[in-house]
Amino acid sequence: MYDLLIKKAYAYNIGKNKDIAIHNGKIVEIREGIPETAAREVIQANGNLVAPGFVDCHMHFDKVFSLGEKDSKTLDAAIEEFYSYCNNIKEGEWKTDIKRRAKEAARFAVQSGTTSLRTHVNIEPNTDLQGIEAMNELKNELKDYVDIKITSLPSFYDEPEAQAKRLDLLEYACKNGLLDFLGGALNIHDNWEDLTEKIFAIAVRNKLPLDFHVNESDNPDIRHFEQIADLTIKYGYEGRVSCGHVTALNAVDNETAARVIGKAKKADLNIITLPSCNLYLMGRGDKQPIRRGVTRIREFLEAGVNISYASDNIRDPFRPIGNGDMLEEGLLTAQVAQMVTKSELETVFRMGTLNPAKALQLQDYGLAVGKNADLVIFDSDIVSDALISQATRRYIIKKGKIVAKNTKTTDIVF
Ligand SMILES: [Zn+2]
């Protein structure tokens, strides 16, 4: 007897009229005509889309819902505003504060169909590993509802001696299993080249993959992106390194961009575009035309580079709006990238599901027998319509269990 049976699904990348049987958290059978009596619980998909859950591969769970009074408008101002939020938290309350806000964000993510996510967590001189520890506690608390992967986002605004202490802290966090990825927004610091070398070395020593913020700027400088591609190849880390933002790629000439995108392909980098946040923060110095601040999505796709979109920030100084909803972010990405034909929308959908699953190295992900039953049942039958209509996600299933349901009712008089 199966635990759960989904009847008459439009199974993502498989086809119509499929029944999906789930047992012990795994997909055990996908075919037509599995009898309803074969399972303890049956959900009728009524011909609608059933797809693997969204994978939100770049979030900031320690920053969510920290919006103050100010309207930040630039990346530098947002960083400053977040520090002023942190400084107002009472001594000893940092972990509780992060967990409270992060749990709310996790509820936003799960109810909109995210089944796995990756969050950056700041490491500051005054908080050390408190944020990382809080996130590990939450990761464990929520493990039956959503997979949370943790990446470090250390600050290096201080002197070399203090920086060295933070690097030791990172090494300690790796050795104690507190991190799934190592990262940082290193190019905002003067000694970014040296810091990047050091972070790479820690990752290699501890056999951890990497996830960087890279060249999130309007300036025509993509040396950091190039350095990461070079180091990835040098250390044989192909496929294990993510690069978020890379907005500066817009500011360089086409020839330079093509050369560096070729290098990214060779290094098998995982690119993450964050349109919602960068539309808000980039191009602030422009009068008209105002640049979009979004990386070269089409060129990466054409070069065969694994590119995903993600939601980045939720109602904090870096983006005062946002719902952590990957279907909403998908439609925004499609509009910004001017990719709205049926097949282009299918590509965008992949950028929120299969592509980020590859970036996160999720081995048990996908709609196939033997994979984790992390699924979303939509109220649309095809991917493009799910994006266009912002379909209701009727059921969100994590490891074979229903973790969220949504309904939509409309009364109209004509
Ligand atoms: Zn970010």
Q: Six-digit token pair at 142?
A: 């929520």
Q: How far is the CA of 216 from the centre of ligand 1 (A)?
A: 9
Q: How far is the CA of 63 from the centre of ligand 1 (A)?
A: 10
**Helices in 282-393 by DSSP H: which ranges?**
297-302, 326-336, 342-350, 354-359, 383-389
Mean pLDDT of the chain: 95
pLDDT tens figures, 28-79? 999 999 999 999 999 999 999 999 999 999 999 999 998 877 777 788 888 8
Q: How far is the CA of 278 from the centre of ligand 1 (A)?
A: 10
Q: How far is the CA of 313 from the centre of ligand 1 (A)?
A: 7
Q: What percent of the chain has pLDDT over 90?
A: 85
Q: How far is the CA of 312 from the centre of ligand 1 (A)?
A: 5
Contact at 8 Å (CB) between 324 and 58?
Answer: no
Backbone angles phi, psi at 4, to 5 degrees: -150, 145
Q: How far is the CA of 156 from the centre of ligand 1 (A)?
A: 16
Q: How far is the CA of 344 from the centre of ligand 1 (A)?
A: 25
Half-sphere exposure of 100 (CA within 13 A, CB side): 7
Whether 401 has a pLDDT exceeding 90, the answer reads yes
Q: How far is the CA of 311 from the centre of ligand 1 (A)?
A: 9
pLDDT tens figures, 76-89? 888 888 888 888 88
Pairing of β 270-273 and β 306-309: parallel
Q: How far is the CA of 157 from the centre of ligand 1 (A)?
A: 18
Q: Which residues pair with 46 in a beta bridge?
A: none
Q: How far is the CA of 144 from the centre of ligand 1 (A)?
A: 25
Q: What angle do CA 140, 29, 17 make, to 5 degrees?
A: 115
Q: How far is the CA of 59 from the centre of ligand 1 (A)?
A: 6
pLDDT tens figures, 152-194? 999 998 888 999 999 999 999 999 999 999 999 998 888 999 9
The closest alpha carbon to 316, from 78, 96, 75, belongs to 78
Summarize the confidence of residues 305-321 as an average pLDDT.
94
111, 142, 300, 385, 390 from 95: Cα distances, Å: 24, 16, 38, 41, 35
All structural domains of the chain with their residue ranges? 2-52+365-405, 54-359
pLDDT band, residue 378 (cuts 50/70/90)? very high
Whether 294 has a pLDDT exceeding 90, the answer reads yes
Give the domain 2-52+365-405 fold: Urease, subunit C; domain 1 (2.30.40)
Structure pTM?
Answer: 0.97
Q: What angle do CA 74, 186, 94 make, to 5 degrees?
A: 75
pLDDT band, residue 376 (cuts 50/70/90)? very high
CATH number for 54-359 (one of 3.20.20.140, 2.40.50.140, 3.20.20.70, 1.20.140.10): it is: 3.20.20.140
The closest alpha carbon to 138, from 92, 100, 174, belongs to 100
